[in-house]
Chain A
Amino acid sequence: MRRGRTILLNVLAIGVFGLLLHLAEGYCNGYQLQILNLIAINIILALSLNLIYGFTGLFSLGHAGFMAIGAYVCSILIMTPDQKDMLFLLQPAYDWVQTAHAPFFAAVLAGGAVAAIFGAVVGIPLLRLGDDYLGIATLGFAEIIRVVANNVPRLTNGALGFKGIPAYADLWWNFGWALVALYVIVRLLQSNTGNVLKAIRDNEIAAKAMGVDVFRYKLLSFTVGSFFAGVGGALLASLLTTIDPKMFLFTLTFNVLMIVVAGGLGSLTGSVLAGIGITVLLEWLRVVENPVDLLGFSLPGIPGMRMVVFSLALIVIILFRREGLMGMRELTWRSLAGVFSRGKA
Chain B
Amino acid sequence: MNLATFIQNILNSLTLGSLYALVAIGYTMVYGILRLINFAHSEIFMLGAYFVFWGITLVHLPWPVAMVLAILVTASLGVLVDQVAYRPLRDAPRISALISSIGVSFFLQNVAIVFFQAIPREVYRPAWLEDPILVHGVRVLPLTLFVPLLSLVLMLLLVYIVYRTKTGLGMRAISKDIETSYLMGVPVNRVIAVTFGIGSALAAASGIMWALRYPQLQPIMGTIPGFKAFIAAVFGGIGSIQGAVIGGLTLGFIEIMTVAFFPDLAGYRDAFAFVLLILVLMVKPTGLLGERPEDKV
Instruction: Spell out A's residues near B (CB within 8 Å).
Output: 59, 125-126, 129-133, 135-137, 139-141, 143-144, 147-148, 150-151, 205, 250-251, 254, 257, 261, 302-308, 310-312, 314-315, 318-319, 322
**Sample of 10 further A-B pairs with CB below 8 A, known A257-B102, A304-B110, A307-B106:** A125-B282, A126-B281, A132-B94, A136-B234, A143-B271, A147-B271, A304-B118, A304-B219, A305-B114, A311-B105
Q: Which chain B positions have C-beta within 8 A of A254?
A: 102, 106
Cross-chain pairs A/B with CB under 8 angstroms, 16 sampled: A126-B281, A130-B285, A131-B95, A136-B37, A140-B274, A143-B274, A257-B102, A304-B219, A305-B114, A308-B107, A311-B110, A314-B100, A314-B102, A315-B104, A318-B96, A319-B85
CA separation between A114 and B286, bound complex, in Å? Answer: 31
Decide: A132 near B98, CB < 8 A? Known: A141-B278, A150-B267: yes
- Establish whether residues A308 and B281, one from each chain, have CB atoms under 8 Å apart when the complex forms: no
Chain B: CB-nearest residue to A251: B106
- Establish whether residues A140 and B277, one from each chain, have CB atoms under 8 Å apart when the complex forms: yes
CA separation between A312 and B102, bound complex, in Å? Answer: 11
CA separation between A151 and B272, bound complex, in Å? Answer: 13
CA separation between A143 and B227, bound complex, in Å? Answer: 10
Minimum Cβ distance to chain B for residue A291 (Å): 15
CA separation between A205 and B297, bound complex, in Å? Answer: 7
Chain B: CB-nearest residue to A59: B95
CA separation between A306 and B282, bound complex, in Å? Answer: 38
Task: Give me the 4 closest cross-chain CB pairs, A-B, nearest first.
Answer: A304-B113, A140-B274, A311-B106, A314-B103
Minimum Cβ distance to chain B for residue A209 (Å): 8
- Establish whether residues B278 and A303, one from each chain, have CB atoms under 8 Å apart when the complex forms: no
Minimum Cβ distance to chain B for residue A319 (Å): 6
Chain A: CB-nearest residue to B116: A304
CA separation between A135 and B230, bound complex, in Å? Answer: 12
- Establish whether residues A261 and B267, one from each chain, have CB atoms under 8 Å apart when the complex forms: no
Q: In the complex, which of the residues A257, A303, A318 contacts B114, with contact meaning CB atoms closer than 8 Å?
A: A303
Interface string of B103-132 (1 = CB under 8 A from A): 111110111111001100000000000000
- Establish whether residues B111 and A308, one from each chain, have CB atoms under 8 Å apart when the complex forms: yes
Q: Which chain B positions have C-beta within 8 A of A303?
A: 113-114, 117-118
Main secondary structure of the interface of B (DSSP, over half): helix
- Establish whether residues B274 and A318, one from each chain, have CB atoms under 8 Å apart when the complex forms: no
B223 within 8 A of A: yes
CA separation between A257 and B270, bound complex, in Å? Answer: 24
Q: In the complex, which of the residues B99, B107, B271, B274 contacts A257, with contact meaning CB atoms closer than 8 Å?
A: B99
CA separation between A144 and B276, bound complex, in Å? Answer: 11
Minimum Cβ distance to chain B for residue A284 (Å): 17
Interface string of B17-41 (1 = CB under 8 A from A): 0000000000000000001010000
Q: Which chain B positions have C-beta within 8 A of A148?
A: 268, 271
- Establish whether residues B114 and A311, one from each chain, have CB atoms under 8 Å apart when the complex forms: no
CA separation between A203 and B37, bound complex, in Å? Answer: 22
- Establish whether residues B98 and A135, one from each chain, have CB atoms under 8 Å apart when the complex forms: yes
Q: Which chain B positions have C-beta within 8 A of A136?
A: 37, 230-231, 234, 277
Decide: A143 near B281, CB < 8 A? Known: A131-B94, A132-B37, A311-B107: no
Q: Which chain A positions have C-beta within 8 A of B111?
A: 304, 308
- Establish whether residues B100 and A319, one from each chain, have CB atoms under 8 Å apart when the complex forms: yes
- With most chain B CB atoms within 10 A of its CB, the pick from A150, A312, A319 is A319
B183 within 8 A of A: no
CA separation between A91 and B197, bound complex, in Å? Answer: 50
Interface string of B186-227 (1 = CB under 8 A from A): 000000000000000000000000000000000100010001
- Establish whether residues B268 and A147, one from each chain, have CB atoms under 8 Å apart when the complex forms: yes
Q: Which chain A positions have C-beta within 8 A of B110?
A: 304-308, 311
Q: Which chain B positions have C-beta within 8 A of A150?
A: 267
Decide: A322 near B227, CB < 8 A? Known: A254-B106, A261-B99: no
Chain B: CB-nearest residue to A122: B278
Chain A: CB-nearest residue to B292: A130
CA separation between A314 and B228, bound complex, in Å? Answer: 25
Q: Which chain A positions have C-beta within 8 A of B282?
A: 125-126
Decide: A137 near B278, CB < 8 A? Known: A148-B271, A150-B267, A250-B223: yes
- With most chain B CB atoms within 10 A of its CB, the pick from A125, A151, A318 is A318
Chain B: CB-nearest residue to A307: B110
CA separation between A303 and B231, bound complex, in Å? Answer: 31
CA separation between A304 and B112, bound complex, in Å? Answer: 8
CA separation between A205 and B295, bound complex, in Å? Answer: 8
Decide: A315 near B100, CB < 8 A? Known: A132-B95, A151-B268: yes
CA separation between A129 and B284, bound complex, in Å? Answer: 11
Minimum Cβ distance to chain B for residue A10 (Å): 33
Q: In the complex, which of the residues B35, B107, B112, B223 contacts A315, with contact meaning CB atoms closer than 8 Å?
A: B107
Q: Which chain A positions have C-beta within 8 A of B114?
A: 302-305, 308
Q: Which chain A positions have C-beta within 8 A of B89?
A: 318-319
Minimum Cβ distance to chain B for residue A244 (Å): 15
- Establish whether residues A319 and B88, one from each chain, have CB atoms under 8 Å apart when the complex forms: yes
B92 within 8 A of A: yes
- Establish whether residues A141 and B274, one from each chain, have CB atoms under 8 Å apart when the complex forms: yes
- Establish whether residues A151 and B106, one from each chain, have CB atoms under 8 Å apart when the complex forms: no
- With most chain A CB atoms within 10 A of its CB, the pick from B94, B231, B267 is B267
- Establish whether residues B85 and A315, one from each chain, have CB atoms under 8 Å apart when the complex forms: yes
B275 within 8 A of A: yes
Q: Which chain A positions have C-beta within 8 A of B271?
A: 143-144, 147-148
